[in-house]
Structure 1
């Protein structure tokens, strides 16, 4: 990226189908996802399915430049909700290598159509999750202050879902939590432990320079997750709705998206709609996933959840 001093990262997707590997260049960007190692002994596990891995190549520098708070939308630039909006404000937190439009664009539009006030600040999804949690905690406090409200609703997709839950735990010691409803879509709450259905693949076997801290934080057993969940995975007073899909090939196993706790509702989109096979990326525009999110935030207004066949397993 000219003039920034940051390396340009080339994202390539490995499509492994019927034992053949195909590379295609999709985009240049500054985020990264997990690096998986495939040795000859592990190739059979990949040949049994069509999978996508993200391979990161630094094109101009041997390491990623350190993320700074300047990469995120300053909280104090977020204006008060316009007059006429209904309900409490909604904060959307996007996933890795994305923005709110790509992660939760249709959900944002549906909320706006309802008259809700929606915030979707950008942030650097490569930074350590602890930094992102601190940032979004400040965002929550600013939204409350500028609007004069006690609580807000939060929706997070993928990494954004884990960040949202961590923010709710950060406020757990307060007399009342500023988060009322928290909805996550395929958030890696339990951490990622499997790749392409195999537990034998080491996700950090190829430690390239600059592998983002966020990727390490989302691995099962990471220091971040261990410390986060030391006193429990949920905060009192928050209603959690955790949505996941059986066809998820990024947050694996897909059950990592769920939590067993009294104040959580775990929803597999295939329950009651087996023909909806939307994968991790496809969930962003999946009608059922969107309806489930709206239902969790306002079950009176959105009591109907559609079942629409979806074969997009990306």
Structure 2
């Protein structure tokens, strides 16, 4: 997404055309009116700021509050990174009082701006586990919440069920079918792109089978799962709740329930106001829920804003 060079004239055009993330005072949390509502805003911000992440993300000085006691770690999908994926969702969550981190995981060679292209077991999962440890150490939190998009949903679910089950409270997914998360990362990551060796691919496949466990489900006891899905997702299509054992705490939320005007697709769901509200509601402490599967007590309903599958938001976004 990043050009080889950034001409001043080109940068000026981009700055005028894109709604780039607006930062407040240094170190301050963003406000609701600073949330960018275009799915490309994160990439635009990085383009204009030397690949730096939008200011709402990765604030190591942020400390959880009694209202939002669990740090939130956002996990991007294939070929993306933390900054260009989560400008909208991260800023929206930070504006509501959450502490938000968005690492880049699975970048070939261990660094770079393009993630999700390396081994699940050799790169993405251990890197996410290390970020969980780091964030818990910074904040003193006993557990974190994970929000994953596309392949990031698989990585988050894998880590929550295997190497950090005792450190994860909630896993929220976007652009993923919970019935298929146990199949591991998309095959094209290992096959078509030819990034991984045959041995690494075999190791990842074996780890995926072990992840399913004796009962054959990619979920962990004691972890709450919320899958936000869109009927217009080009990769998943309509999603229904899979049949799972009774001990699995899983809720599938259809984006179009109550808002058929939101036709967000696989990428544009990252900037859907309704999706942002559903994710925020899923991350409130369990004690604040009005009823099982219900909205947080005293909260406002998720917004309903017209959105196109490819273009994203089509109308002004009202405050919640």
Aligned to 2:212: 229
Task: Name the Cα RMSD after superposition.
Answer: 3.3
Q: Is the 8 A contact 2:74 2:101 kept in 1?
A: yes
- 1:97 counterpart residue number: 79
| Alignment partners' CA distance in 2, 1:91 and 1:139 | 8
Aligned residues: 218
Please report how far the alpha carbon of residue 274 of structure 1 lies from its aligned counterpart in structure 2 after TM superposition: 1.8
1:224 is displaced (CA, Å) by: 5.2
Cα gap change, 1:302/1:166 in structure 2, threshold over 3 Å: closer, same or farther? Answer: farther
Q: Secondary structure at the match of 2:221?
A: coil
Distance 2:148 2:192 in 1: 28
Deviates further, 137-146 or 284-293: 137-146
Asked whether the 8 Å contact 2:146–2:156 carries over to 1, the reply is: yes
**Structure 1 pair 87–186 and aligned structure 2 pair: CA distance change class (3 A):** same
Give the Cα–Cα distance (whole angstroms) in 1 for the partners of residues 101 and 251 of structure 2: 24
| Cα drift, residue 110 of structure 1 | 1.1
Normalised to the residue count of structure 1, the TM-score between the two structures is 0.60
State the SS of the aligned residue for 2:86: helix
CA offset digits 1:86-115 (Å, max 9, x no partner): 522111111111122332221100111122
Question: CA offset at residue 277 of structure 1?
Answer: 1.1
Q: Pick from 206, 213, 231: which aligns with 1:246?
A: 231
> Is the aligned partner of 1:117 residue 2:102?
no
Q: Tell me if the contact between 1:244 and 1:258 (Cα under 8 Å) persists in the aligned partners.
A: no
Give the secondary-structure state (helix, strand or coil) at the position aligned to 1:135: helix
Secondary structure (helix, strand or coil) at the match of 1:237 reads coil
Q: Distance in 2 between matches of 1:102 and 1:271?
A: 28
Identify the structure with the greater helix proportion. 2
2:160 corresponds, among 162, 168, 174, to 168
The CA deviation at 1:187 is 2.3
Q: Indicate how the Cα distance of structure 1 residues 92 and 227 shifts in structure 2: closer, same or farther if over 3 A, else same.
A: same
Which residue does the alignment assign to 2:194? Answer: 210
Map of 1:152 onto structure 2: 144
How far off is 1:151 after superposition?
0.9
Distance 1:97 1:301 in 2: 38
How far has the Cα of 1:305 moved from its partner? 0.7
Match of 1:286 in 2: 272
Contact 1:294–1:302 (8 Å) recurs in 2: no
Given that 2:64 and 2:99 are in contact with CA atoms closer than 8 Å, whether structure 1 keeps it comes out as: no
Q: 1:154–1:92: structure 2 CA closer, same or farther, 3 Å change rule?
A: same
Q: Distance in 1 between matches of 2:193 and 2:158?
A: 27
The TM-score with structure 2 as length reference comes to 0.59
Unaligned runs of 5+ in 1: 1-7, 9-77, 193-202
Measured in 2, the distance between the counterparts of 1:101 and 1:303 equals 28
The aligned counterpart of 2:130 is 138
Per the alignment, residue 182 of structure 1 pairs with 171
CA distance in 1, matches of 2:218, 2:76: 21
After superposition, the C-alpha distances for 1:48-71 in whole angstroms (9 at most, x for unaligned) are xxxxxxxxxxxxxxxxxxxxxxxx
Query: Structure 2, unaligned stretches of length 5 or more?
Result: 5-57, 108-115, 182-186, 285-295, 312-320
Distance 1:310 1:135, change over 3 A: same
Q: Distance in 1 between matches of 2:224 and 2:213?
A: 20
